[in-house]
């Protein structure tokens, strides 16, 4: 999606360790007009999938999921990171290794908000090694919910997550796919 690619080229910064920093519009400050357009694009890409719920993980996935959910007119459920007393004990959990923090964490979703009747679109900000997506898929599996597809804002195509998920026949749509990045250049996959 050219709008997102242009924004990444304009405002993104490449950090050591293969991390793209996009704090100015998605990961800290939110560019609401841009994120609204990303939500519409997710809707265009998955509009035939009969989505009943959107699942993401806190915190950076929430704004994207919210923007998409406005188009689908469905609720958003976000997995919480860690164990939360106020979520209760009737929960689905998945242990995930955080790419950016370099430590494991537990995703938690209350059983009240996800069930076998749901057809779920998973949305997240980045796809790198695929650990966050796998955690969300594990939670869907525990709920017996169906997967409508996975929508990602920025996929780092030089990491294996996207290829692994697509290789299993999962419908993955990434609005921008980065083929390569260095301190002073970001190369997108032609889409």
**Binding residues vs ligand 5GP (CB under 6 A):** 19-21, 27, 60, 99-100, 124-133, 156, 161
Cβ(41)–Cβ(64) below 8 Å: no
Residues 188, 129, 120, 59: what is their CA dihedral angle, to the nearest 10 degrees? -90
Nearest to ligand 5GP of 50, 166 (CB atom): 166
- DSSP for residue 101: T
Phi, psi of 70 (to 5 degrees): -60, -35
Nearest to ligand 5GP of 157, 161 (CB atom): 161
Min dist CB 132 to ligand 5GP, Å, is 4
Cis peptide before 41 (omega within 30 of 0): no
Nearest to ligand 5GP of 62, 131 (CB atom): 131
Min dist CB 90 to ligand 5GP, Å, is 25
Determine the Cα–Cα distance for residues 144 and 182; give it in Å rounded to an integer.
Answer: 41
Nearest to ligand 5GP of 47, 98 (CB atom): 98
Min dist CB 54 to ligand 5GP, Å, is 15
């Amino acid at each position: 999606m050219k709008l997102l690619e242009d924004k990444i080229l304009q405002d993104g910064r490449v950090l050591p360790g293969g991390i793209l920093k996009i704090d100015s519009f998605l990961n800290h400050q939110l560019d609401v007009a841009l994120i609204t357009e990303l939500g519409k694009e997710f809707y265009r890409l998955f509009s035939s999938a009969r989505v009943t719920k959107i699942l993401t993980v806190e915190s950076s996935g929430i704004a994207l999921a919210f923007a998409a959910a406005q188009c689908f007119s469905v609720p958003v459920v976000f997995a919480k990171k860690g164990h939360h007393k106020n979520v209760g004990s009737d929960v689905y959990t998945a242990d995930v290794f955080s790419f950016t923090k370099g430590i494991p964490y537990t995703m938690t979703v209350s059983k009240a908000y996800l069930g076998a009747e749901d057809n779920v679109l998973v949305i997240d900000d980045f796809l790198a090694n695929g650990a966050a997506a796998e955690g969300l898929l594990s939670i869907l599996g525990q709920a017996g919910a169906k997967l409508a597809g996975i929508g990602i804002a920025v996929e780092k195509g030089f990491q294996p997550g996207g290829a692994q998920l697509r290789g299993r026949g999962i419908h993955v749509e990434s609005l921008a796919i980065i083929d390569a990045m260095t301190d002073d250049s970001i190369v997108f996959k032609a889409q």
